[in-house]
A and B are shown apart, each in its own frame.
Chain A
Amino acid sequence: MNKLKLIIKREFLAKVKNKSFIIMTILSPLLMVGLIMLIVFLNQKNSEEIRTVAYVDESGMLASVFENSEHTKYLNITELGLEEAKNKTNEFYYGLIYIPKAENLNNLSEGISFYSADSPSLGLLSSIEGRLEKKIQNLKLEELNFDLEKLKTTETRVDFNTENFTGEKSSKIGSVLKMAAGGGFGYLIFMFIIIYGTSVMRSVIEEKTSRIIEVIISSVKPFQLMLGKIFGNALAGVLQFIIWMISAGALLTVVTLIFGPEATDMSGAQGVGMTSEMVGQVQQTASNDLQLVLLEMKNLPIMTMFFSFIIYFIGGYLIYSSIYAAIGAAVDSETDTQQFMMPVLMPLMIAIYVGFSVIENPHGPIAVGFSIFPLTSPIVMLMRIPFGVPWWQLLISIVLLVVTFIGIVWFAAKIYRVGILMYGKKPTYKELYKWLKY
């Protein structure tokens, strides 16, 4: 046991002191935050720009639509005539709206055009279109003697209150939240397995190529060495993860302080040309929904999620990293690992793809099947858990995970034990099978 501790310590320190680890750990959050800051900055720059849109309204009925807003100014140049206005716009303005003469309201909407030098912003276009439609509709309604004030009172908004049969409330926002939580956890495990599994494999290959392996295993059992490697790397990974979490949190706070709270959420909406009125509306529904989100968070099976994350994280990592260790032991150099990597990456990739369909249909046969199959369950089951999983499925899945874990570690240890002392040609699968019997 004492030796295992020594090995874990060495592996951990070797990993943590490695330059690329330090650079990755420090640089990644900085890069992420830098990227976010860049996007926010560009968005702000974008929205600071004020665009001037000219219009020629030959009908004389729609001018009231063109009210100046924060980022868009409207200029009436009807007196110039269409051709002159086009030339002028090309030289000075962002775009030109042309509304031709109309004999009556019914063909007022015909032939309205937008001219611009570059392709215009879609957000701006649809916003102007929407207002023109509304205005023309109102004009028509007035012509038909409808009382617009009264009509306004009939406007209605419908939001489903979704609820399941046991009476738990759920909402669309809740589903999104579940997807995010499940998907996030699943993806985290996936990344962790690949990054740290590969790191275990590299470390095994390094010991093999530097030939220190024979010295080490004349002092400790190969199994101890393998476990020490797996745990040591996992600890380094957990450390890296914690550092990322803390620094990302700290840096985001700094960013929010610098750019103001709205910098991170609403400026994007303004960038695509929403009017301030619309933004206000969205903000209002957002604050309504924020309460819903908080409510939904309480409804998530947090404890189950937390404990199953730990179980599947440990199980999944141990299964895959011992396979990685066995692969490292079987080959002489990293370039030889290709043929063995494919079968390992396969179930992981499948799990991620199946994950997408799990989000669509968390209780379908595919979702259930892959969340029980032990090579994919660490990812797929975690994606399902926020949606509620029957306890017996969870139980079968975990039991299978543990059984597989024991089997795989046994199998990997056998390959490892023989492989680390084998040099020369790359083994075939048939030879690996023979090693099991040595």
Chain B
Amino acid sequence: MENVLKVENVSKTYGKFTALNNVSISVPKGSVFGLLGPNGAGKTSLIRIINQITLPDSGKIYLDKEELKPEHVHQIGYLPEERGLYKSMKVGEQALYLAQLKGMSKSDAKKKLDYWFEKFNISSWWDKKIQELSKGMAQKVQFIVTVMHQPKLLIFDEPFSGFDPINANLIKDEILKLRDEGASIIFSTHRMESVEEMCEHIALINKSNKILDGKLSDIKSQFKENKFEVGLQCENKIELFNEIKEKFEVEKTDAESDIDLRMLVTLSANDTSTNLIKFLNSKAQINHFTEIIPNANDIFLKAVANNE
């Protein structure tokens, strides 16, 4: 798959503090890429380097196979975690100014803005000052300002913070729509459920190092623990549980059921699910059998814990 962005061996230090240590990531074209990591891991440093706000000490960055250069800022849209607009400037004027700074002509910017303002049903705000708007309203303006110049790479840092669930959903749909229209998206967040929902690829940064990256589905199978949830129909639950416990590593599950015996079975590395099914089948009737797949949250916690 083609990459829209390639970060190669980027390092950055501030005095004695290392913010990024030899970090490389590749963001595939037309997908949502989750940039994850605990607070202070170095995500913002990396995002700022991609935006050319700061320069890396070493390493190279390519946007669409070209080495990053100043003109590329026109092809990137950035929504920083710390939102902000000029408080005493009018919404429309401000959006036009920011669009022109991104290289748009005034007339193009006006057309694009009309489109977005109508779409979000906020055309009446054009002559209002930002300080007259609520936080959520200002966030909408900020989202428009980020995407209006149709950049090929969009970087969203916690895009849903400050939005109510309805508007958060609206923004999510817009982000996915932008992806479908061909934009590539870097998405940095701590909300793991939205990672699960939106990201095809992720990279995990911890303590200035990249500790994990790849396709989310690949990472999930990589983090599988050969763990299965089984449900067996039987008369004497305790006796059967103890019998299985002798052969396999078993634990009770929260999803206790009245009808059947539920448990989690973890297989050793050289054991297979087929063996487990054969064994269980000989003991009782199986009416439930699923493999436990770790979610993004589990992966995050586990990867960071392993890295400590």
Contacts and interface: CB of A to CB of B under 8 A. Distances in A.
B98 A14 contact: no
Given A218-B76, A221-B70, A438-B15, A212 B84 contact: yes
A216 interface: yes
Contacts of B98: 215-216, 219
Given A6-B97, A211-B83, A212-B84, A218 B15 contact: no
A77 B299 CA distance: 114
Contacts of B70: 221
26 contacts: A6-B100, A6-B101, A10-B97, A14-B88, A18-B88, A207-B86, A210-B84, A211-B83, A214-B48, A214-B82, A215-B78, A215-B84, A215-B85, A215-B142, A216-B98, A216-B101, A218-B52, A218-B53, A218-B78, A219-B73, A219-B98, A219-B101, A221-B70, A421-B48, A421-B54, A438-B15
Given A6-B97, A219-B102, A214 B53 contact: yes
Given A210-B87, A421-B53, 11 more contacts: A206-B87, A207-B86, A214-B82, A215-B145, A218-B51, A218-B73, A219-B73, A220-B101, A221-B70, A421-B48, A438-B15
Contact of A438 (B14, B52, B85, B100): B14
Contacts of B100: 6
Interface in B75-131: 76, 78, 80, 82-89, 97-98, 100-102
Nearest to A208: B84
Nearest to A19: B88
A434 interface: yes
Interface in A168-200: none
Nearest to A219: B101
Interface of A: 3, 6-7, 10, 14, 18, 206-207, 210-221, 421, 434, 437-438
Name B's interface SS. Answer: loop
A279 to B, nearest CB: 55
Interface residues on chain B, size class? 20 to 34
Contacts of A212: 84-86
A394 to B, nearest CB: 40
B73 A211 contact: no
B295 to A, nearest CB: 32
B217 to A, nearest CB: 32
Binding site secondary structure of chain A: helix
B40 to A, nearest CB: 13
Q: Which of B84, B85, B87, B88 has the most CB of A within 10 A?
A: B84
Given A216-B101, A219-B73, A14 B86 contact: yes
Contacts of B48: 214, 421
A215 to B, nearest CB: 6
Nearest to B155: A218
Interface string B123-152: 000000000000000000010010000000
Nearest to A6: B100
Contacts of B97: 6, 10
A109 B117 CA distance: 95
Contacts of A217: 53
A438 B45 CA distance: 13
A207 B48 CA distance: 17
B95 to A, nearest CB: 11
B151 to A, nearest CB: 11
A14 B101 contact: no
A10 B90 CA distance: 12
Contacts of B86: 14, 206-207, 210, 212
A214 B101 contact: no
Contacts of B142: 215
Contacts of A6: 97, 100-101
B84 A214 contact: yes
A23 B38 CA distance: 50
Contacts of A434: 15
B107 to A, nearest CB: 15
B131 to A, nearest CB: 9
A3 B53 contact: no
A438 B14 CA distance: 6
B189 to A, nearest CB: 17
B84 A213 contact: yes
A10 to B, nearest CB: 6
A215 B73 contact: no
A429 to B, nearest CB: 15
Contact of B101 (A3, A210, A421, A437): A3
A62 to B, nearest CB: 74
A18 B86 CA distance: 13
A374 B142 CA distance: 44
A217 to B, nearest CB: 5
Nearest to A216: B101
A219 B101 CA distance: 6
A221 B73 CA distance: 10
A216 B83 CA distance: 11
B82 A14 contact: no
A228 to B, nearest CB: 10
A211 B14 CA distance: 21
A216 B89 CA distance: 14
A211 B52 CA distance: 17
Contacts of B80: 211, 214-215, 218
Interface string B59-83: 0000000000010010010101011
A211 B53 contact: no
A214 B101 CA distance: 13
Contacts of B51: 218
Contacts of A215: 78, 80, 84-85, 98, 142, 145
Contacts of B145: 215
B82 to A, nearest CB: 4
Nearest to B12: A438
Contacts of A3: 101
Contacts of A216: 98, 101
Interface in B17-76: 48, 51-54, 70, 73, 76
Contacts of A14: 86, 88-89
Contacts of B83: 211
A146 B156 CA distance: 106
A218 B47 CA distance: 10
Contacts of B73: 218-220
A215 B148 CA distance: 13
A320 B15 CA distance: 28
A210 B85 contact: yes
What are the 5 A-B residue pairs with the smallest beta carbon separation, nearest first? A211-B84, A212-B84, A219-B101, A214-B80, A218-B51
A18 B53 CA distance: 29
